[in-house]
A and B are shown apart, each in its own frame.
Chain A
Amino acid sequence: MTEVVMECRHLWKTYQPRLTAVKDVSMRINEGDIKLIFGPSGSGKSTFLRCMAMLTPPDKGDVFLREECLTKPGVNLNKARARIGFVFQHIWLFRHLTALGNVELALRRVLKLPKEEARKRALEALKEVKVEEMANRYPAQLSGGQQQRVGIARALARNPDIILLDEPTSALDPELTGEVIDTLRDLAKMGTTMLIVSHEMPFAREIADEMIFFDEGTIVETGSPEQFFTNPQSERAQKFMMRLIKRTRRE
């Protein structure tokens, strides 16, 4: 039986004054699942991902990590967040720390691992994303693709239950997206549970178990990549897929 890693029920988030970013979204992610969210910009994908990690608390609805309800008052959210990996669109590495320092910090200060073990695990994580030779460089001395791979290593090193990735390649130059996608492909092979917001369509088709089309703050359509590529059900998804596929061809 597959175990549910993360689940949300009837999630709502409204920004002031009347901009509803997430409308009644429910989703369940099982162990080893790779789900890919896509949809027009401003459709609430990022807000939804942040609500799942409780970085932005939702207004209504519940989020569960394993059996634990994170939206109940009194839950230790710091402990919960320590079990969720988050990769940001604009990377957001700690600029005053080296690549190794970025990965190591939470291992030492959140998981409280002894120094040697934290270092060992941080180096392993950097190796997994193939930037171990850059371990002693500062973020400003790395390329965008290398930075994002360090960002992934930082999220990965704690062995989180799930990794949430918010458009991990969209802030990068096209020639740098490839190396990040290769990294994600490796993670997929290792059976990492992931919820990814991305518009990299060939990649989505290759690794996603399920694709979710988001528009105006809510899930419009859910299905296998095959279904989206050959026969999307909703008209909005059809139009959006057409545009994406055209753009990808041009590139």
Chain B
Amino acid sequence: MLEGVSTTLAISIFSLFLGLGVGLPLSFVRAYAKGYGFFVEMFEKVFRGIPEIVLMLIFYWGVGLYFPFPFKSAFFTVIFVLGLRSAANQSQIFRGAIRGIGEEQMVAARSLGFSKLRSAVHIMIPQVFIFATPGLGSEYALLIKDSSYAFIIGVLDIMFTTNVIRKATSDAVTPYLVAAFLYILLTFPIATWLDTWGSRRKKKLGF
């Protein structure tokens, strides 16, 4: 069971960071490089519109035939799919934050001689994170929950081990209750902590 917890946690955290690495640049592309907005929008539509279980099966069984790396590994396939789905979500979360911060901070940065890119790095991104904390918290919780699909393609996460225990003990209730409790334990404290930290920070900085 403990191994299942660490796998679930690993999937969620790696996908969160993959989503961050892809989603954050995309949000800036969509906010500032309007010409490429269409492609970002298409990406968001595709990954938000298709159920993640369908995507996982497509990549694991379909694409995996032609690209054994990384899709031969169920673990990496899950991270890839959830990461990109999260990127689509995070791109929208961050875009909202950029809008909330407003154009002024960018103009002020540029008046000091910062390029657009460096303004984004030094002035926008630190504020974007503070603005986006509630959204990021629920995104993390969503990833923990959605990682439970992974057992379908054979990843040894919480759900997988739960099923093994259920079959071994013929108890159909207790293992699921334990799993439910574990999911709550993984999602709730971190999401709440992020939210509180964000609101405190916002209050202090007058956002």
| Residues of chain A whose beta carbon lies under 8 Å from any beta carbon of chain B | 53, 55, 78-84, 86, 88, 90, 92-96, 105-106, 109-110, 138-140, 154-155, 158
Contacts and interface: CB of A to CB of B under 8 A. Distances in A.
B104 interface: yes
Chain B interface mostly: helix
Contacts of B110: 55, 78, 81
B204 interface: yes
Contact of A96 (B107, B112, B115, B127): B127
Contacts of B104: 88, 90, 92
Interface residues of B, number: 21
Interface string B100-130: 0000110111111111001000110011001
B207 A95 contact: yes
Contacts of A155: 111
A95 B111 contact: no
Nearest to A140: B206
A138 B110 CA distance: 21
A140 B204 contact: yes
Contact of A95 (B107, B115, B127): B127
Nearest to A106: B112
Contact of A92 (B105, B205, B207): B105
Contact of B113 (A79, A90, A96): A79
A158 B111 contact: no
Given A94-B105, A94-B123, A109 B111 contact: no
A96 B206 CA distance: 9
Contacts of B123: 94, 105
A82 B205 contact: no
Given A55-B107, A105-B122, A109-B122, A96 B205 contact: yes
A96 B131 CA distance: 11
A95 B205 contact: yes
Contact of B111 (A81, A96, A105): A81
